[in-house]
Amino acid sequence: MAAETLQRVAYGPSVSLPAPYPVGTDFPFSFAITDEYSKEDTITAVIELVESGGLRKILDRHGAIYFQNLALQSADEFSNFAHAFGWLPHEDIGNPVRRTVLAKNVATANEGPNTQPVYPHNEFGLSPHYPAYVLFFCLSAPETGGETPINNSVVLFQRLKERHPEFIEELESKGVKYQLFYPNGPRDQTASAGTTLLQSYGRHVLDTDDTETARLKIENEVRRLPTATWVWENQTEKNELGDLRVWQRLPAVRNHPRTGGPAFFNNVVSRFLNAVAAGTLDPPHINSHNKYQPPAFYGDGSLIPKNYLESAVEIIHETRSSAWKGAVDRDKEALGEFVG
The reply to whether 170 and 305 lie within a common domain is: yes
Residue 129 has pLDDT above 50, yes or no: yes
Average pLDDT across the chain, whole number: 90
What's the confidence (pLDDT) of residue 331?
41
Select the highest-mean-pLDDT range: 70-74, 100-104, 147-151, 256-260.
Answer: 100-104
Note the pLDDT of residue 3: 60
| pLDDT(276) > 60 | yes
Give the per-residue pLDDT at 299. Answer: 98
Identify whether 280 is part of a domain: yes
Closest C-alpha to 56, from 23, 86, 76: 86
Please check whether residues 184 and 297 belong to one and the same domain. yes
Q: What is the pLDDT of residue 117?
A: 85
Same domain, yes or no: 56 and 17 = yes
Same domain, 143 and 73: yes
Q: 111-123 pLDDT, tens per residue?
A: 877 778 889 999 9
Q: What is the pLDDT of residue 111?
A: 82
Q: Is residue 28 part of a domain?
A: yes
Assess whether 327 and 194 both reside in one domain. Answer: no
Positions of E strands within the chain: 6-8, 15-16, 26-27, 29-33, 64-68, 101-103, 106-107, 133-137, 176-182, 228-233, 243-250, 253-255, 262-264, 297-298, 327-331, 336-338
| pLDDT at residue 297 tops 90 | yes
Q: Are residues 178 and 314 in the same domain?
A: yes
* Structural domain span for residue 85: 2-90+131-150+321-338
Decide if pLDDT at 283 tops 90.
yes
Q: Is the pLDDT of residue 148 over 80?
A: yes
User: Computed from CA positions of residues 18, 21, 25, 31, in that sequence, does the dihedral angle turn out positive or negative?
Assistant: negative
Mean local confidence (pLDDT), 235-264: 95
pLDDT above 90 as % of the chain: 72
Give 332's pLDDT tier (boundaries 50, 70, 90): very low
At 7, the pLDDT band (50, 70, 90 cuts) reads confident
- What is the predicted pLDDT for the residue at 274? 97
Residues 186 and 258 occupy one common structural domain? yes
Is the separation of the CB atoms in 68 and 32 below 8 Å? yes
Q: Per residue in 184-229, pLDDT tens?
A: 999 998 888 899 999 999 999 999 999 999 999 999 999 999 999 9
Instruction: Report residue 142's pLDDT band, with 50, 70 and 90 as the boundaries.
Output: confident
Residues making up the chain, counted from first to last: 340
Q: Which of 195, 173, 177 is nearest to 186 (CA)?
A: 195
Q: Are residues 12 and 141 both part of a single domain?
A: yes
258 in Cβ contact with 53 (< 8 Å): no
Beta bridge partners of 181: 245
Asked if pLDDT for residue 106 goes beyond 50, the answer is: yes
Average pLDDT over residues 293-309: 98
Task: Choose among 198, 199, 196: nearest CA to 182.
Answer: 196
Residue 179: exposed, middle, or buried by beta-carbon count in 10 A (0-12, 13-18, 19+)? middle
- Does residue 334 carry a pLDDT above 50? no
Q: What is the CATH number of the domain that holds 257?
A: 3.60.130.10
Q: Could you tell me if 240 and 281 lie in one domain?
A: yes
Residue 96 pLDDT greater than 80, yes or no: yes
Window from 133-137, 269-273, 280-284 with minimum mean pLDDT: 133-137
Task: List beta partners, residue 232.
Answer: 244
The answer to the question of residue 115 being in a domain is no
Residue 37 belongs to some domain of the structure = yes
pLDDT at position 327, please?
41
Q: Tell me whether residue 274 is in a domain.
A: yes
Tens of pLDDT, residue by residue over 58-87, are: 999 999 999 988 888 999 999 999 999 999
Are 77 and 179 in the same domain? no
Q: Is the pLDDT of residue 328 over 60?
A: no
110 in any annotated domain: no
The pLDDT of residue 139 is: 83
Residues 6+ apart with CB under 8 A from 183: 196, 197, 243
Q: Are residues 265 and 253 in contact, defined by beta-carbon separation less than 8 angstroms?
A: yes
Same domain, 314 and 165: yes
Q: How many other CB atoms sit within 10 Å of the CB of residue 76?
A: 13
Among 321, 298, 307, 202, smallest CA distance to 247 is for 298
**What's the rounded mean pLDDT across residues 29-41?**
83
- Domains identified in the chain, total number: 2
**Which of 196, 204, 272, 271 shows the shortest CA–CA distance to 239?**
196
Asked if residue 106 is part of any domain, the answer here is no
pLDDT at 20 over 60: yes
Quote the CA–CA distance of 312 and 264 in Å, as a whole number.
10
| Residue 178 sits in the same domain as residue 309 | yes
Q: Is residue 40 part of a domain?
A: yes
Question: Residue 10: pLDDT above 60?
Answer: yes
